[in-house]
Chain A
Amino acid sequence: MTGLAQLTRHRLFWPIVALVVLLLASTLKSHSFLEVTVRDGHLYGAPIDILRRSSILLLVALGMTLVIATRGIDLSVGAVMAIAGAVTLTQIASSPDPGAVSTVAVAMLTGLAVCLVIGVFNGFLVAVLGIQPIIATLVIMTAGRGIAMLITGGQITTVTSAPYKTLASGFWLGLPVAALIAGVFFAVVALVTRRTALGVLIESVGINPTASRLAGVRARTIIWTVYVLCALFACIAGFLQSSNIMAADSNNAGLFIELDAILAVVIGGTSLAGGKFSLTGTLVGVLVITTLTLSITVIGIPVNAVSLFKALVVIVVCLLQSPVVQHKLRARRRQAAPVPVEVPA
């Protein structure tokens, strides 16, 4: 009983329940939903599809988690994705040999370099100039797509390049390359934050920046770093997105993804007030959001009602996680228990 109570109180209990419910509902509707088959040596099926589709959001949410843990927020991630795609694809398109691995590698490095500069810029505004993160990153959020348009010359740049296509559509060891890339980044960030002291220092800065600075923590450097990391992860996400459609669409690449990313972080139990963060939570949050989008079509929700349905699920999960509701639920459980004891003497 107490074990169960403890379980329901766990931060990730309700998000995981939501995930399971979504998967179950989809399976009831389409019995082969959870089936994974091997075709041409690759794994196929809805679960694999969820993993592949989650990769872009996971990369963005990963950076967002770190930024939010320092009490910040990064609204520019979608625009950074657009810029990453624009820079990289323009360079591949203008190269004499778009199919060469070296061309793709150089183009991607250029994209990373540009995004690095953007991350440094964001971090500078927040950590050094002390501008509120939401305002500071709004600059690139609004200007970024314009920059991407300038780079592509207002066109949707399309390319044909087998190595670049592999990023989003390829398989390795039977698994989608995109999911592997996101997985590797997730593992590296998880390892680096929890095996070194970076995680606890980020939390310390997020909880109390002044006290952290006085304790000798390089608060400014840490805040700066998380914005740079966030931009770099958004850049990789931009690669995956543009590789998926093999085009740099400056208007639509990563549109509103910052909101999904923030949502994933929040569902995962990391507070927007900064401090303690959970990368596993973010992973669950990302899976919930992706599964939701996929389930909607499987369950047969009319396309017009998709946003509404999504909103409903999100509201329910957030409600169940809210401290007030949790407290109420617990109080009710406690009150219910002693009633039989109150037999008049």
Chain B
Amino acid sequence: MMTEPNTTPIVEMTGISISFPGVKALDGVDFRLLPGEVHALMGENGAGKSTLIKALTGVYGIDSGRIVVGGVDQVFAGPAEAQAAGISTVYQEVNLTDNLSVAENVMLGHEIRRFGLIDWHATRKAARTYLKALNLDIDPKSSLSSHSLAVQQLVAISRAMVVDARVLILDEPTSSLDSDEVARLFDVIRTLRDQGVAILFVSHFLEQIYAISDRITVLRNGSLVGEYTPAELPRVELVGKMIGRALEVLTELEGRSERAVVDRSGTPFMQAIGVGRRGSIEPFDLDIYPGEIVGLAGLLGSGRTELARLLYGADHADSGETLVSGQAVKLRNPRSGLAKSIVFSSESRKTEGIIGDLTVRENIVLGLQAERGWMRRVPRKKADDVVAQYIEALGVRPANPDAIAGNLSGGNQQKVLLARWLATAPKLLILDEPTRGIDVGAKAEIQKLVADLAAQGMAVVFISAELEEVLRLSHRIAVLRDRHKVAELVNSDDVTTDVVVDLIASGGTSA
């Protein structure tokens, strides 16, 4: 059902610009939201979706531009004011209080009072009405934590409706829901839309966008690409508009069908023999040859990260022997790994990777500097050259060495981390979930980079929860389960995700 185009927008944002130190997050973006429509906001990580939402809800002040809500010029000083104007937001992570009841969560701050005291009976009754409106038949007295994430998500929406919302912002509401739960959520969204609520919907899932949206606005690099209806914008074009140039990279990578054969006759770059650490990973053997990508497959908690940390020296092994280029080495700490040209990029970008308050330049040079020690500072000229080279090669955005690294989007932070390690000219690159939580464009670029580096002779250990990704890139795959390495197989076209899943499920006994 299409909305009549002549309806007056409930929200009209014009020429919105917001800058953070070193980053232009939004640059003259226009956005409008009509009553009774579901409007999808699309873009990669770092395109400015969240910033635009935060500008609308008063979390961020805008540097320039105009926000009109319901025909009135508005400058919201905070989310509370935006809410008072009828704009409610449901965030990706459910922002509710686990240990309170459903009714308390729904009515928090809007409890019904009698003589100044809360009338719990009436409050629960009101909560039930709001829940019913979303076809949610649960006991308002029950504790929120006793319900599934999907129901909690719906409770969050009920809560958003208590304030009589005219605009409902759903920021990735489906990221942790299964397909039935998504269908249920969509029913609710449609009901609300038909009641005339304007819904702003953000999701990374293309199918969902096409299933629910009446209109799509695409952002890229903080700028508006355009506003479309789903009918006039086929999927491929939408992706193209979102990622621009990166689409070619993706198709190029997909087209790379034949894998280079890795010469495994010489000495492996690294040989782990019976290496293990009590309480973290059982002893394992692993050979990694130059130019080879070894993928680690396994479920969360199967010991992938633990294995990788031993290879780098982030933790030290309490059994076994490690050989680098045929020579026995002791990897006691990260420095000893670094000294052997082994580098490790952690899965926790924020807590174990990026130094948030330092600049992009300082972050990139950090690995090189650590290798040289504090007394021999990396000369400014050399630092500038290295930084410029990798910002260019990896396409770090913004391409500003003085930007504060913490202000960059996830994908760009990942690129900065990669640059840090590549600048040390490693021989073994260990990547733990380098593509998690980053958008499709950056993901494709990073995958291509890994493939290229291996082609140039670098040994790579690649960890990812996405089996497809592991299969696409790896020459060999080590399968882990319950802190054991249970199997190792050479990748070929016969190896499919099903094969690997079977191995994980069976614990390698059938292989």
Residue A20 lies at the interface, judged by CB distance under 8 Å to chain B: no
B357 at the interface (CB under 8 A from A): yes
Measured CA separation A210–B309 after assembly (Å): 13
Contact of A216 among B75, B338, B356, B358 (CB under 8 A): B338
Chain B neighbourhood of A310, CB < 8 A? none
The minimal Cβ–Cβ distance linking A81 to chain B, given in whole angstroms, is 28
Q: A211 contacts B338, CB within 8 Å? A: no
Indicate if the CB atoms of A204 and B351 lie closer than 8 Å: no
- At the interface, yes or no: A39 with Cβ under 8 Å from chain B? no
Answer whether residue B344 sits at the interface, using C-beta atoms and an 8 A cutoff.
Answer: yes
The digit string for B14-41, where 1 denotes a CB below 8 A from any CB of A, is: 0000000000000000000000000000
- Residues on A with beta carbons closer than 8 Å to the beta carbon of B314: 214
Contact, CB under 8 Å: B420 / A215: yes
Contact, CB under 8 Å: A222 / B374? yes
- Asked if A211 contacts B355 (CB within 8 A), the reply is yes
Q: Which residue of the partner chain, among A198, A216, A276, contacts B370 with CB atoms under 8 Å?
A: A216
Asked if B77 and A331 make an inter-chain contact with CB atoms under 8 angstroms apart, the answer reads yes
Interface string of B51-81 (1 = CB under 8 A from A): 0000000000100000000000001010000
In the bound complex, residues from chain A placing their C-beta under 8 Å from that of B370 are 201, 215-218
B337 surroundings in chain A (CB, below 8 A): 216
Task: Scan A192-217; emit 1 where CB is below 8 A from any B CB, else 0.
Answer: 00011110110110011011111111
Q: What's the minimum C-beta distance from B392 to chain A, rounded to whole angstroms?
A: 22
Q: Roughly how many angstroms separate A208 CA and B352 CA in the complex, as a whole number?
A: 8
Chain A positions within 8 Å of B369 at CB level: 197, 200-201, 217
Closest to A210 in B: B352
Contacting pair B378 A197 (CB below 8 A): yes
A334 and B378 alpha carbons, distance in the complex (Å): 42
Contacts of B75 in A (CB 8 A): 335
Write out the residue numbers on chain B whose beta carbons fall within 8 Å of the beta carbon of A331.
61, 77
Residue of B nearest to A327 (CB): B61
A200-B371 in contact (CB<8A): no
**Residues of B341-400 whose CB lies within 8 A of A:** 344, 346, 351-358, 362, 366-367, 369-378
A87 to B385, CA, bound (A): 52
Minimum CB–CB distance for A70 against chain B, Å: 13
Instruction: Kindly state whether residue B230 has any CB partner on chain A within 8 Å.
Output: no
Does B335 have its Cβ within 8 Å of any Cβ on chain A? Answer: yes
Residues of A within 8 A of B274 (CB): none
In the complex, whether A78 has a CB less than 8 A from a CB of chain B is no
Given the contacts A197-B374, A216-B370, A210 and B351 also touching, CB distance less than 8 Å: yes
Given A196-B374, A197-B378, A210-B352, is A215 in contact with B367 using a C-beta cutoff of 8 Å? Answer: yes
In whole Å, how far is B349's beta carbon from the nearest beta carbon of chain A?
9
B357 with A275: CB separation less than 8 A:
yes
Given A200-B358, A201-B369, A331-B61, also A214-B334 (CB < 8 A): yes
Most buried by B among A198, A201, A215, A222: A215
Q: Give the Cβ gap from A69 to chain B, nearest Cβ, in Å.
A: 11
B366 and A204 within 8 A (CB): yes
* A6 to B: closest C-beta gap in Å: 13
Chain A residues in 8 Å Cβ range of B61: 331, 334
CB contacts under 8 Å to B, within A169-227, are 195-198, 200-201, 203-204, 207-208, 210-218, 222
In contact, A217 and B352 (Cβ under 8 angstroms)? no
Asked if A203 and B352 make an inter-chain contact with CB atoms under 8 angstroms apart, the answer reads no
The CA of A276 and the CA of B356, in the complex, are separated in Å by 11
Contacts of B375 in A (CB 8 A): 196-198
Considering the chains assembled together, what is the distance between the CA atoms of A217 and B352 in angstroms? 12
Q: A315-345 interface mask toward B, CB cutoff 8 Å, 1 = contact, 0 = none? A: 0000000000000000100110000000000
Cβ–Cβ contact A213 & B334, under 8 A: yes
Asked if A204 contacts B362 (CB within 8 A), the reply is yes
Which residues from chain B contact A195 at a C-beta distance below 8 Å? 377
Query: What number of B residues sit within 8 Å (CB to CB) of A?
Result: 33
Which B residues touch A201, using CB under 8 A?
369-370, 374
Chain B residues within 8 Å of A335, by CB: 75
Q: Which of B243-296 contact A (CB under 8 A)?
A: none
A216 x B335 contact (CB < 8 A): yes
Q: Which residue of B lies closest to A271 (CB)?
A: B357
Closest Cβ of chain B to A20, distance in Å, is: 28
Chain B residues near A276: list those with CB within 8 A: 357
For chain A residues 256-278, which have a beta carbon within 8 Å of chain B?
275-276
A218 touches B351 (CB 8 A): no
A37 to B295, CA, bound (A): 77
Q: Are A197 and B371 in contact (CB under 8 A)?
A: no
What is the bound-complex CA distance between A196 and B358, given in angstroms?
A: 16
Choice from A196, A197, A211 contacting B352 with Cβ under 8 Å: A211
A37 to B216, CA, bound (A): 76
Contact B356 A208 (CB under 8 A): yes
Residues of chain A within 8 A (CB-CB) of B352 are: 208, 210-211, 214
B423 to chain A, nearest CB (A): 11
A195 to B379, CA, bound (A): 10
Chain B residue numbers with a CB within 8 Å of A196 are 374-377
Bound form: Cα–Cα A57–B337 in Å: 42
List of A residues within 8 angstroms of B353 by Cβ: 211, 214
Q: How far is the CA of A42 from the CA of B22 in the complex (A)?
A: 49
Considering the chains assembled together, what is the distance between the CA atoms of A261 and B334 in angstroms?
35
Interface residues of A in 221-239 (CB under 8 A from B): 222
For A198, the chain B residues whose CB sits under 8 A away are: 374-375
Residues of A within 8 A of B373 (CB): 197, 218
Which residue of chain A is the closest to B314 with respect to CB atoms? A214
Closest to B344 in A: A214
The answer to whether A207 and B420 touch (CB under 8 A), given A201-B374, A214-B314, is: no
Q: How far is the CA of A106 from the CA of B377 in the complex (A)?
A: 35
Measured between C-beta atoms, what is the minimum distance from B443 to chain A in Å? 22
* B336 closest partner in A (C-beta): A216
CB distance from A34 to the nearest CB of B (A): 38
In the bound assembly, the distance between CA atoms of A198 and B354 in angstroms comes to: 18
Interface string of B303-335 (1 = CB under 8 A from A): 000000000001000000000000000000111
Which residues of chain A from 118 to 133 have a CB within 8 Å of any chain B CB?
none
- Give the shortest distance, in Å, between B79 (CB) and chain A (any CB): 16
Q: Could you tell me the distance between the alpha carbons of A197 and B338 in the complex, rounded to whole angstroms?
A: 18
Residues in A whose Cβ lies below 8 Å from that of B351: 208, 210-211
Interface centre among B333, B356, B370, B373 (most CB of A within 10 A): B370
Determine if A217 and B357 form an interchain contact, defined as CB atoms under 8 angstroms apart. Answer: no
Also in contact, A216 and B355, with CB within 8 A (given A197-B377, A331-B77):
no
Min distance, Cβ A190 to any Cβ of chain B, angstroms: 14
Which residue of chain A lies nearest to B377 when distances are taken between CB atoms in the complex? A197
Most B CB atoms within 10 A — which of A197, A275, A334? A197
List 16 extra interface pairs beyond A208-B351, A215-B420, CB under 8 A. A196-B375, A196-B377, A197-B369, A197-B372, A197-B377, A201-B369, A201-B370, A204-B355, A204-B358, A208-B356, A212-B366, A213-B334, A216-B370, A222-B374, A331-B77, A335-B75
Q: 6 smallest A-B Cβ distances: which pairs?
A: A216-B370, A216-B338, A197-B377, A198-B374, A217-B370, A197-B374
Ordered by A's residue number, 25 sampled pairs between the chains whose C-beta atoms are within 8 Å are A196-B375, A197-B372, A197-B373, A197-B374, A198-B374, A201-B370, A203-B357, A204-B362, A204-B366, A208-B354, A210-B352, A211-B352, A211-B354, A214-B334, A214-B352, A215-B334, A215-B355, A215-B420, A216-B334, A216-B338, A216-B370, A217-B366, A218-B335, A276-B357, A331-B61
